[in-house]
Amino acid sequence: MSNVEKIYFSPSSTTKKVVEEISNNFNEKKEIFDLLNFNSEKVFASDDIAIVGMPVFAGRIPKTARKRLEKIKGDNTPAIAVVNYGNAHVSDALLELVDLLKENNFNVIAAASTVSHHSIFSGVAQGRPDSSDIEKINEFAQKCIEKIESGESLTSEIPGNRPYTDYKQLPFVVSCDDMACAFCYDCVSICPENAIPDDDPVDTDLDLCSRCTACIHICPEDARMFTGDAFEAKKPEFEKANSERKDPEFYL
């Protein structure tokens, strides 16, 4: 019996939403591999179906997510590769994801870049994915099902360059309002970089922090946020430059 394997790294949950939307088109039993906490070796069977979603971080798939995905292999397992970005740039992220899945013995049958609310700059792509995105994502999922049934692989060329653009660390500060913190430690548990000390959730080690947004998104008190001069200076300029709507792209 084959399974649909939902594999994603989704600090602010929009990539997860896109993967869920695609997977809901399949009737098979579902399994979840959430790479915010799944960091083990795994090999899927040839009759499984993998749906792999990654957010775009500075034109790449996130470094830690990549390291975790490197441990997950296929056995010529059909895979759908999705990168989800914040209406700015995909750059080399989709090419990188497709390359990595192929290296890991997946049979990539289709790929997509989808647009979601920007997890750092809240004014960009608000409300996305919206109903128009979801409709297109579901049409894509139906085409994926047809491709898997007919045994076809990906034929479209994926945009991007090799070598991929260098990793970039954003200069923004992630901080915590100690008056708002309720010391629930949810941020400590979710941080994929162990950047929040387990005895002091108000602190953040900015040398370890990848600015992924998971702690900000999970905090029930809205105590964690981006702050600092670099962030405040960039925000209006970035939101203006990326205000024009971009549409998802699908590759079959």
User: Considering only residues 35, 88, 174, 187, which one is a binding residue for ligand FMN as defined by CB under 6 A?
Assistant: 88
Q: What is the tally of helices (H) and strands (E) in the chain?
A: 7, 10
Span of 83-91, 97-105, 199-207, 227-235 interacting with ligand FMN by CB under 6 A = 83-91
204 lies in the binding site for ligand FMN (CB under 6 A): no
Q: How far apart are CA 4 and CA 26, in angstroms?
A: 8
Q: How far apart are CA 34 and CA 103, in angstroms?
A: 21
Find all residues with CB under 8 Å of 222, minimum gap 6, and list them.
Answer: 180
- Site track for ligand FMN across 159-188, x = CB under 6 A: -----------x------------------
**Residue placing its CB nearer to ligand FMN in the complex, 10 or 104:** 10
Q: How far apart are CA 65 and CA 9, in angstroms?
A: 6
Helices 14-23, 131-150: axis angle to 10 degrees equals 50
221 lies in the binding site for ligand SF4 (CB under 6 A): yes
Q: How far apart are CA 24 and CA 247, in angstroms?
A: 21
Span of 131-139, 141-149, 197-205, 210-218 interacting with ligand FMN by CB under 6 A = 210-218
What are the beta bridge partners of residue 195? none
User: Considering only residues 196, 242, 250, 251, which one is a binding residue for ligand SF4 as defined by CB under 6 A?
Assistant: 196
13 lies in the binding site for ligand FMN (CB under 6 A): yes
214 lies in the binding site for ligand SF4 (CB under 6 A): yes
Q: How far apart are CA 26 and CA 164, in angstroms?
A: 33
Span of 12-20, 91-99, 124-132, 216-224 interacting with ligand SF4 by CB under 6 A = 216-224
Q: Are strands 77-85 and 49-55 parallel, antiparallel or unpaired?
A: parallel
Task: Write out the residues near ligand SF4 by the rule CB under 6 A.
Answer: 174, 176, 181-187, 190-191, 193, 195-196, 201, 204, 209-215, 218-221, 223-224
